[in-house]
Amino acid sequence: MFELIAVIIALAGLVAALAHDGYLAMLGSAANKRAGGAPIAQFVRSRWVVAGSTTAAGLLALLLATGGGFAEVLAVILGAGTAGVAAKALQSSRERFHTGN
């Protein structure tokens, strides 16, 4: 039962990390196609370290979730941390460029 909980939390962290990756990819692509998009492209390049780290942590949490006992506890902690960091990073990136009609 605890393994299922660990897998769900690890998947939530991985989904949040992949959402941040996707947003940065979309933002970077739009910035590269637009004249004067160099500052945005520079911002996106600076955020890839955080995005890559959270994705790797999410994958590690998912790998640990299939282990037993203590590995599952680590997976829950790492998955929850990954979800929190990735969601906060995505939120800060969106707030910086959201125009809000």
Which domain range does residue 19 map to?
2-95
Q: How confident is the model at residue 101 (pLDDT cuts 50, 70, 90)?
A: low
The answer as to whether 13 is a domain residue is yes
pLDDT confidence of residue 8: 93
> For the segment 44-94, what is each residue's pLDDT rounded down to a tens digit?
999 999 999 999 999 999 999 988 889 999 999 999 999 999 999 999 888
Residues 6+ apart with CB under 8 A from 66: 3, 7
Between CA 60 and CA 58 the distance in angstroms is 5
The answer as to whether 62 is a domain residue is yes
The answer as to whether 51 is a domain residue is yes
The answer as to whether 100 is a domain residue is no
In the numeric block, which tokens belong to residue 91?
């939120």
Between CA 35 and CA 75 the distance in angstroms is 44
Residue 39 three-state SS: helix
Per-residue pLDDT at 99 exceeds 80: no
- Number of folded domains in the chain? 1
Prediction pTM value: 0.86
Alpha-carbon dihedral of residues 13, 3, 76, 48, nearest 10 degrees?
-30
